[in-house]
Amino acid sequence: MIDKANQHQNPTPALGKSTHPPKSWRTWLIGRPLHTADAPHQTIGKLVGLAVFASDALSSTAYATQEMLMILAIAGTAAFHYSLPIAMGIVALLAILTLSYEQTIHAYPNGGGAYIVARDNLGNLPALIAGAALLTDYILTVSVSISSGIAQIVSAYPALYGLRIEIAVFMVFFIMLINLRGVKESGATFAIPTYFFLAMMFLTVGEGLVKVLMGNLGTVVNPPHMELIDLPQPISFFLILRAFSNGTSAVTGVEAISNGITAFKEPRSKNAGQTLIWMSVILGSLMLAITFLAYSMGAVPSETETIISQIARTVFNGTGLLYFLMITATTVILVMAANTAFADFPRLGALISQDGYLPRQFSYRGSRLVYSRGIVALAVIASLLIILFKASVTNLIPLYAIGVFLSFSLSQFGMAHRWWKSGQLKPGEEKQEPGSVVRHEKSWLVKMLINGFGGLTTFVVMIVFAITKFTDGAWIIIVLTPLLVIAFEAIHAHYKNVARQLSLDAYDNPPQLKADHVIIMLGGVHKSSLASLQYARTLSDDVRALHVSIDPEDTRRIAAKWEKWGGGVPLVILESPYRLFIEPVLDYIEQLDQQREPGEVITIVVPQFITSRWLNFLHARTADTLRKVLLAKENVVIIEVPYRITEPYGLPAQHG
Amino acid sequence: MIDKANQHQNPTPALGKSTHPPKSWRTWLIGRPLHTADAPHQTIGKLVGLAVFASDALSSTAYATQEMLMILAIAGTAAFHYSLPIAMGIVALLAILTLSYEQTIHAYPNGGGAYIVARDNLGNLPALIAGAALLTDYILTVSVSISSGIAQIVSAYPALYGLRIEIAVFMVFFIMLINLRGVKESGATFAIPTYFFLAMMFLTVGEGLVKVLMGNLGTVVNPPHMELIDLPQPISFFLILRAFSNGTSAVTGVEAISNGITAFKEPRSKNAGQTLIWMSVILGSLMLAITFLAYSMGAVPSETETIISQIARTVFNGTGLLYFLMITATTVILVMAANTAFADFPRLGALISQDGYLPRQFSYRGSRLVYSRGIVALAVIASLLIILFKASVTNLIPLYAIGVFLSFSLSQFGMAHRWWKSGQLKPGEEKQEPGSVVRHEKSWLVKMLINGFGGLTTFVVMIVFAITKFTDGAWIIIVLTPLLVIAFEAIHAHYKNVARQLSLDAYDNPPQLKADHVIIMLGGVHKSSLASLQYARTLSDDVRALHVSIDPEDTRRIAAKWEKWGGGVPLVILESPYRLFIEPVLDYIEQLDQQREPGEVITIVVPQFITSRWLNFLHARTADTLRKVLLAKENVVIIEVPYRITEPYGLPAQHG
């Protein structure tokens, strides 16, 4: 007899093992499991924060200029002199965004991604649109950054061109593993390479600018073959807008910090805000410098050699050590950019999932306190995109920036609306809004205008992007985003429906369920079915055994054995001339169900003999199928009485 | 209350629907289900029998000569004059085999494949070796025949060369579908094309021989580029043996009839025997004629144009209508050869499965009375081989004939042993041997010598083949066959172990199982868990609820609700700081298990709320995982109390 008193109402049972972390091959791959209580300690400072969150934005300097030139090239190399003014426009856009997001970071110290800001200030639908836009954006960040990283490698080692897709997919899964280990280790792992990249970048750009001043920069030796992605055409305003659109890929990633504020050490907002400003200053200067140098030395866009590679070998007079260090640094920062998405995508997925718009599994933390399912989903989808678009940045870029700018606009319009509400309050007054507290702020009008202008600018950029890139691939995102929103709403409707039907509100008379009618599924008469028989007889007086007859010879043998062992329990035989098993049983249950009194329950006892799961394929497992089908019926309870078969070869049993 | 008397001991219940055939997309694809009673009617006459079973053997004339020349070409075209003597040797081998198998067919009217003959007369191990050899042989028949069929198509339409693998795999699945419909329809579908092939073949060969006699045959115009599969070397005895080995692929398929005797109309043995002799005569003549013509007109072996294509366009003076009819007929007969394997592989699989050496599912007949699983398995494996070996007959042929000749030898040694036993009996006497009755036969010595000589010949051929083709791919089969035999034995050991452990022999005191301790798994307090609670309370007085605490907030809410709705059933809370669910439950059950009295049973009640299976991915399904894990434990019974959630969008429920 079990000592019951010992077990009841025991909130912290001395049950030993469950409080110890489990060990397995996963431990080796992603590290020892972390205790839930460890969660708050996993935060980072400004220096590491810049490394983790700014890599997306900084790394886009590796391809933004190149993709801008890719468009201008359609109008011939003479059109390249538009590149510097376009780059300046992009830097202006960056400045507006930075100002705007700095305000967001202080207003939302718990993480003010576009999803949260839109949800709190504009409502559910805009929030879901922002959510859909951001999720696709994060996926593309991974695909684009890794593809560009591969392009750098191929510039240095052209022999690897044929393997670029394989290398890209391998890299995505490598980053996935790092992220499954948790954010703190990512920070430490990634800080050194980010600063290595910045050092190499400043060295290259600095050396280049000095050479320009001294007048001895020269031009690119043996430039790659310039590729045209369209038929040649004269320069036009539309073409300039297309080039600008491609160039805006430089500002993607600016929002990363505002989503990840909670990862920063206290004071969070201040640290995050300063990191944002530093990041923008570095990004803007690099964008201008790279574009200027590329133009000065006559670099041309090409799939076989990147602009960065051309700049580096021209500045350093050939492919020596510094060239290789620069290429390595660029590749590594691009890989880390993908890592930014691996921090943000699962976090946003968990947020949307907690609101009930994505499968709940996305909000479960894995053994290392990270949202493992989101991390794995991101890796899989990004890899698929890389394979589909052949790891080409030029192919992927038209899908990229729409989502970014859509979420930028929604976020900033949300902030503008929030400042307007702030302006309606009296000085010192504060008001609880859904999600956050709105306080009166003296400078609310200026702040509203800044965010409103930012929102308007990014909205216009998005429209420009959608129009100029529509046929190149932007249409995919324009179609996909509403579909994602519909999927979110459908998932939400399902969860609400389940919750409503399970709810105990206004439920005062639970049904009195018991085993009224018991049926034993009889495949054969043996120890396993006898165990089920013994159990079934303790449940009810109305017990019968059911056998589906496929082979009459078999059936005769079973009936005879049942006569001896069945203990008087009647045997029902269902003929199955079409050798079906499930259907006759279903029909029989259906008939019983119709004769049933209201409230009565039919209990099906399924004898299960359990062998090693490695040998499951040797058994037809009809019991499993039957169980699945019958579970869907109302008023049917399934009982499985296992009978364990031991394996002589030391094979593991059903589990572990 | 259900009327019990009405249901009991009812061997043919008037339960309506289960005796009607089910309808679905499968019905459209493979035809309406057939009643078990329809089985014996599915037999065929000699003409149709020749079409169904001889196509394998006859079709090998499409590649045997070519593969022979492929080897001789290594020693230069001058070596081609060895082709006719080699072909004669192969025809002699064919004659020996025919004589030998004719005896088998009469001794084994219920189907005397190598597996059965070896099992009855030599024992289990030789039978399993023969079975493994035959199964691999059938798979290769499909791969080789379809690949050769594609080679004919490519000869006529070289543009299709790039698509040959895709077309081949498509064809395999097309034949699979035809076979899933059942053997009678295969017969009808395939009789016309076989005779069309024979007509075209005799026309081509006849016209060719007449032209040789008239002296106006000429040579192949624009012969394809002759390919060498090895470095050139002088002619040697070893090379002649290699060519002979390749040529023996012509006699593969001779055993098909002896395996398929039961498909013939009565008198089975007579009909099957006559069909065999007709088949061999046709096969032998064609082999000699094709080899002679190929030599006479200077045809050369090549992957881009088959020998058959070269003969046809030379005989018919170009690629006119008759040429295309000949190519079509050859392609079609090769496709049908694959069909032979689709008749024999599943039948042999079912036989071995009934003996307990293959998963039992292979002996279940599908809705159209065919062994569906064997048919599907054959299609899948043969397609994989086609993909791996790039649909090239020359690549596949070294794997092909070893299995055939191994099974030939075992079958004939088995027969020889049987005649020897027959000779030990007195005239008129008969003796029951395992599987069949052995009678005294007057001419037992002659028959024994015939079968013994046949066995010896094929054994020598197998050794020659294994040695000359070892490095070309024969080693794969030499390694695979013993592995298959080991797998057969392992499967058998498993089934025997299960049967022994389940057996009721010497079992006189069944345990008295009942729900001694009942545990309700509590994820939340709602209608579904209350349904489980109600059911559980009728089972035992020792009922408790178990909750794994991952989020303390959640746990507090659940405990409070349980206070109100739990009806006094105690709640056990397991802390899970590592956010694991299964492991703490397992630990708890483990501890309970140790405190349990011998013979007591722990019953776990799992509340299951059931949504549409299309939406299953939205729920974590931890209940399913838990069930699987707990099923493996002894003395644990699982009860699932379903609570069905209706879907508002008319989505189908868990099943149909």
Q: What is the ipTM of this complex?
A: 0.70
pLDDT level of residue B443 (50, 70, 90 thresholds): confident
**Residue A655 and residue B628: Cβ atoms within 8 Å?**
yes
Q: Which tens digits make up the pLDDT trace of A537-547?
A: 888 889 999 99
Token pair for A198? 């910045």
**What is the count of residue pairs from A and B with beta carbons less than 8 Å apart?**
318
- Residue A186's pLDDT is 54
- Over 60: is that where the pLDDT of A6 sits? no
Interface with B, mutate which of A352, A494, A593 (most B CBs under 10 A): A494
pLDDT digits (tens, 9 = 90+) for B24-34: 665 666 566 66
Is residue B14 very low, low, confident or very high in pLDDT (cuts 50, 70, 90)?
Answer: very low
Q: How many CA atoms lie within 13 A of A367 on its CB side?
A: 19
What is the Cα–Cα distance from B359 to B349, expressed in whole angstroms?
9
Q: How confident is the model at residue B211 (pLDDT cuts 50, 70, 90)?
A: very high
Q: Which of A35-39, A47-51, A295-299, A366-370 has the lowest mean pLDDT?
A: A35-39
Whether the link from the prior residue into A11 is cis, omega within 30° of 0, is no
Q: Say which range, A183-187, A350-354, A587-591, has the weakest mean pLDDT.
A: A183-187
Distances (CA, A) of A310 to A48, A202, A210: 30, 16, 17
Chain B within 8 Å of A500 (Cβ-Cβ)? Answer: no
Nearest to A654 among B526, B628, B644 (CB): B628
Question: How far apart, in whole angstroms, are the C-alpha atoms of residue A586 and residue B571?
Answer: 36
In chain B the domains, ranked by start, together with CATH numbers, are: 45-434+445-496 (1.20.1740.10), 514-644 (3.40.50)
Interval B274-288: pLDDT, tens: 999 999 999 999 999
Distance CA A251, CA A244 (A): 12
Question: B180 phi and psi, to 5 degrees?
Answer: -70, -20
Q: Give the residue on A whose Cα is nearest the Cα of B366.
A: A579
Q: Are B31 and A593 in contact (CB under 8 A)?
A: no
**Distance between A540 CA and the closest CA of chain B, angstroms:** 10
pLDDT higher than 80, residue A184: no
CA distance B3 to chain A (A): 8
DSSP 3-state assignment of A8?
coil
Residue of B nearest to A631 (CA): B642
Contact A268, A260 (CB under 8 A): no
In B, which residues are within 8 Å of A502 by CB distance? 524, 526-528, 609, 643, 645
Most confident of A18-27, B78-87, B331-340: B78-87
- Residue (of B643, B8, B639, B602) closest to A604 by Cα position: B639
Predicted local confidence at residue A4, as pLDDT: 41
Whether A574 and B653 lie within 8 Å, measured CB to CB: no
* CB neighbours of residue B310 within 10 Å: 26
Contacts of B366 in chain A (CB under 8 A): 579
Give the max Cα distance, chain A: 107
Which pLDDT belongs to residue B128? 94
Which one, of A423, A430, A418, lies nearest residue A117 by Cα?
A: A418
- Closest-CA residue of chain A to B533: A513
pLDDT digits (tens, 9 = 90+) for B626-652: 888 887 777 889 898 888 887 665 554
Give me the mean pLDDT over the A255-272 stretch: 84
Query: Would the pLDDT of B147 be above 70?
Result: yes
Sign of the four-CA dihedral B142, B143, B145, B149: positive
Q: Is the pLDDT of residue B458 over 50?
A: yes
A633 lies within 8 A of chain B by CB: yes
The pLDDT of residue A69: 94
Chain centroid to CA A391: how far?
20
Rounded to an integer, what is the distance from CA B176 to the centroid of its chain? 11
Cα angle vertex B90, ends B88, B94, to 5°?
Answer: 115
CB atoms within 10 A of CB B85: 12
Q: Stretch B129-146: mean pLDDT, rounded?
A: 93
Q: How far apart are CA A348 and CA B332, in angstroms?
A: 59
Q: Cα separations (Å) of B425 from B211, B419, B428, B429, B445?
A: 57, 10, 8, 6, 12
Q: Summarize the confidence of residues A637-648 as an average pLDDT.
A: 82
**Strand A543-549 and strand A515-521: pairing?**
parallel
Residues in B touching A562 (Cβ below 8 Å): none
Provide the 3-class DSSP secondary structure of residue B444. helix
pLDDT value of residue B550 = 82
* A509 Cβ under 8 Å from any chain B Cβ: no
Q: Which run of H or of E encompasses A385?
A: helix A372-388
- Assess B584–A contact: CB distance below 8 Å, yes or no: yes
Q: What percent of chain B has pLDDT over 90?
A: 35
Contact B644 A632 (CB under 8 A): yes
pLDDT tens digit sequence for B567-615: 889 999 998 877 777 888 888 988 888 887 877 889 999 888 877 767 7
Cα separation of A290 and B575, whole Å? 56
